[in-house]
Structure formats: C-alpha cells, structure tokens
Amino acid sequence: MRIQKTLVHPGASELRLLYRVATAYYEDDRTQEEIAERLGLSRVKVCRLLNRARSAGIVRISVSVPGSANVELERALEQRFGLLEAVVAPRTPRLAFVDRLGAAAAELFTRTIRGHEVVGLTWGNALRAFVGALPRLDLPELRIVQIIGGLGSVDAGVNGVELTRALAERCGAKPRLLHAPGIVATPEVKAALVADHQVREALELGARADVVIVGIGVPLQTFALLGPGPLLPHAELEALLAQGAVGDIAFRHFDAQGRMLETGLEGRVVGLEPAALAAVPRRIAVAGGPEKTAAIRAALTGRLVNVLVTDDDTAAVLLT
C-alpha cells in the first residue's frame, strides 16, 4: 500500500482531509472510531472519506503474491471454471501423491467447516487420505452422512461405510450410514431398499447436506478399488465407454462435457440422486493425476463440483 503525499497542496482542503484520514487509518493503525473522535467527525463520515481516498488515488492497495506459485494456479482455476475455491496441493517429498491431496483437503476442511453442517461423503483412495490426514476435532453438532451405498474395498479402507465412520470419529460427530450396497441387481431390489426407513432417512439427510466431499472415478480404473471381483460385468463397462462416459461421482457417470448420462444403471444405484447432489451448496472434489485429468475437466465443465482439491501438475494441464 502507498499513500501518495504529492496530492496535498495549498487550497486542497478536501484532499488534505482525505490524506489525514487515510494516514491515520492505514499507516497509524487507528480505528475509524478513534479517527472520528479525533477529527470531530462521525464514523459514517470517516468510512466515506476512506472510500473517497481510494477513488481519488490517495490510497492505492496492492496484493502481493506469496512465495508459492500454486496461488496463481488456484486463482486461474477458479476463474476458468467458476469455482468457489481451488486448492492446489504443494509438492512435499515426504508424502506420496494421494497423501498430498489428502493433506490439502484436510487443511481446507478444518479451515472452512463451522461445526453445525451436514457433510456428505462418498468413497475412494483420495478420501481415505483426506480422513487420515485430518486432526482430531471437537465438532459434536456436525453430521456426517454416507451418500452412496457400499462401494470400494473394506479391507483397503476406501469403502463408504468405513470412511463415514472414520470421518465422524475424527470430528467427534455421529455418522449416519447408508445400510445398502452401492449397486444392486435390479431396480426392484433398489426400490425395496430405499423403502426401508433407515436407508430413506440417510438419503433424506444427504439431500439436506451443506457440503459433500467426493472422489472422481474413471471407468477403466475405478474397479481396481472394488475388491477381488469387478462391480460391473465387462459388457456393462464397455457399454458405459461406448456412451462416452469419462468419469463418475458417486457412481453417477458423465461425459466429457460434464453431462450426466442415462446409462441404465440409475435404477440400480443406491445413493444420492444427481439432482440432489447438484443442489448441495458446496461440492468438494478431491482428485488428481494424469489418469483422471479428463474426468476432472469434465466435472468442472459441467459444474458438477464447485470446489477442487488437486495437484499442481493436474492444475497446469486443466488450464491448457
């Protein structure tokens, strides 16, 4: 910040007053109340004078870029994709790639969570890293809800049930679990499960979420996390790819423009419906890596998420 003294000259009484108020506020660290009392002005008058001082060029404010270049990447991502916030994980030699994402997501969570929200959670390696990096918090009024049925390997700790329990335990909160598989054999089985009051109440709570934290899946690689057998038969996977699926959030697949696809799986997936997910005010995706760049770009293009936690290499590619 620079206060320009050359604008003060004989006869410029208004400029002199603007200069005195600006100097007292910005250089002497006096409050508006103190300035008002000292100069015999009202606080409202002081506030108006400070605004006029900026308009007149007496006060010029500049913002300095911190040492990390990631700040510029974050700002560029926010502007390019209309994000509420982008967080680009710094390079840390001591941490594996997914743990860098998890640590950045944990920092974002602890900085932004207020303690009374409903937080929805999906599943996956990145979210496991996020939960593992989170410090112990005391947020008993927070509600953590699983928004997709059981997907992912329980043994690997990426299953939605396990992650929801673990996040709630870290926050000192109670979990609301979705006691159902993530995908079932027929729409009739799904209808029967959703009719169960515990499943229905979990989905209703998820639909009222203030925040969801999701991973972004890729059809050709998602299944490596699912345990000893594939979640879908090979023919169904091929059909997804033929329809142009590039990624999924909570097992809802989308194309390269971020448009949700009618894949035939909708009637079999037990979880938050796409419209309900889209209505959540703060939708945080934790994802990165070259294999997921196309899916992340599509999710951002389609405004499926509005907060992104990623790495610097992925951010740079997304901006090309």
How far is the CA of 312 from the CAs of 291, 305, 306, in angstroms? 14, 18, 18
Closest CA to 172 of 208, 144, 205, 200: 144
pLDDT at residue 271 in the model? 94
Distance CA 290, CA 295 (A): 10
Contact predicate 78/71, CB 8 Å = no
Out of 20, 37, 60, pick the residue that ends a domain. 60
Q: Are residues 164 and 295 in the same domain?
A: yes
pLDDT at residue 231 in the model? 65
- Structural domain of 183: 70-318
CATH number at residue 75: 3.40.50.1360
Residue 65 belongs to some domain of the structure: no
Q: Are residues 125 and 237 in the same domain?
A: yes
Count: domains in the chain: 2
Residue 157 belongs to some domain of the structure: yes
HEC string of 151-214?
Answer: CCCCCCCCCHHHHHHHHHHHHCCEEECCCCECECCCHHHHHHHHHCHHHHHHHHHHHCCCEEEE
pLDDT at residue 65 in the model? 47
Q: What is the pLDDT along the chain (320 residues), one digit of tens a residue?
A: 555 544 434 345 788 888 889 989 988 888 999 999 888 889 899 998 988 888 888 887 665 545 455 889 999 999 999 999 999 998 887 889 999 999 999 999 999 999 999 999 998 899 999 999 999 999 999 999 999 998 765 555 578 899 999 999 999 999 999 999 888 889 999 999 999 999 999 999 999 999 999 999 998 755 444 444 556 777 888 888 899 999 999 999 999 999 999 888 888 999 999 999 999 999 999 999 999 999 999 999 999 999 999 999 999 999 99
Q: Are residues 128 and 275 in the same domain?
A: yes
Residue 282 belongs to some domain of the structure: yes
Tokens (6 digits) for 316: 């740079």
Residue 77 belongs to some domain of the structure: yes
Cα end-to-end span (Å), the chain: 33
Q: Are residues 24 and 75 in the same domain?
A: no
Closest CA to 319 of 298, 302, 288, 297: 297
- Name 277's Cβ contacts closer than 8 Å, sequence gap at least 6: 147, 212, 249, 250, 252, 283, 304
Contact predicate 58/20, CB 8 Å = no
Q: Cα–chain-centroid distance for residue 214?
A: 8
| Strand pairing category for 211-214 and 247-249 | unpaired
Contact predicate 270/149, CB 8 Å = yes
Task: Please state the pTM of the whole predicted model.
Answer: 0.78
Q: Exposure pattern of 56-70 as b/e (b: 16+ CB <10 Å)? A: eebbeeeeeeeeeeb
Q: Are residues 166 and 251 in the same domain?
A: yes
Q: Are residues 25 and 103 in the same domain?
A: no
Contact predicate 100/287, CB 8 Å = no
Q: Are residues 103 and 56 in the same domain?
A: no
Contact predicate 84/294, CB 8 Å = no
Out of 20, 41, 60, pick the residue that ends a domain. 60
Task: Give the DSSP letter of residue 89.
Answer: E
Q: Are residues 6 and 54 in the same domain?
A: yes
